[in-house]
Amino acid sequence: DTGVSQDPRHKITKRGQNVTFRCDPISEHNRLYWYRQTLGQGPEFLTYFQNEAQLEKSRLLSDRFSAERPKGSFSTLEIQRTEQGDSAMYLCASSLSRAGYGTDTQYFGPGTRLTVL
């Protein structure tokens, strides 16, 4: 257990429905990342937050995707009008960013597996 939790762990939905995932990072971590991972591939970056500010979004994040991190604590990732191609594992990670300490060590949650029927 890394200290990062995600909810739900599994989600099955029908095409066209909206889904929302939650991530609770390690409490003192100021950065939070979302990734998507499909079978046999490594995690693909979606977006990340520095505190409550969303600083980067991947082009993979279409208009149907939105992420928030109110008050710089937990984060939610919403997918609207889901498509079968959205089926994947959605991973959340958090880190403590400190200048001069190399690349942040990211602590990953267990992921939410989404299946779109």
Chain residues binding another protein by CB under 8 A are 2, 4, 31, 33, 35, 40-45, 48, 50, 55-56, 58, 91-93, 97-99, 101-111, 113
- CB of residue 81 to another protein, shortest distance in Å: 24
Minimum CB distance to another protein, residue 96 (Å):
10
A 10 A CB-CB count for 69 gives 23
Query: Which C-beta is closer to another protein: that of 21 or that of 33?
Result: 33
Q: 47 and 54 in contact (C-beta within 8 Å)?
A: yes
Which tokens hold the place of 22? Answer: 């939650």
Question: C-beta of 14: minimal distance to another protein in Å?
Answer: 23
Cβ-based nearer residue to another protein, 15 or 55: 55
**Least distance in angstroms from the C-beta of 34 to another protein:** 11
For another protein, give the closer residue by CB, 18 or 105.
105
d(C-alpha 66, C-alpha 88), whole Å: 16
As a whole number of angstroms, the distance between CA 49 and CA 116 comes to 27
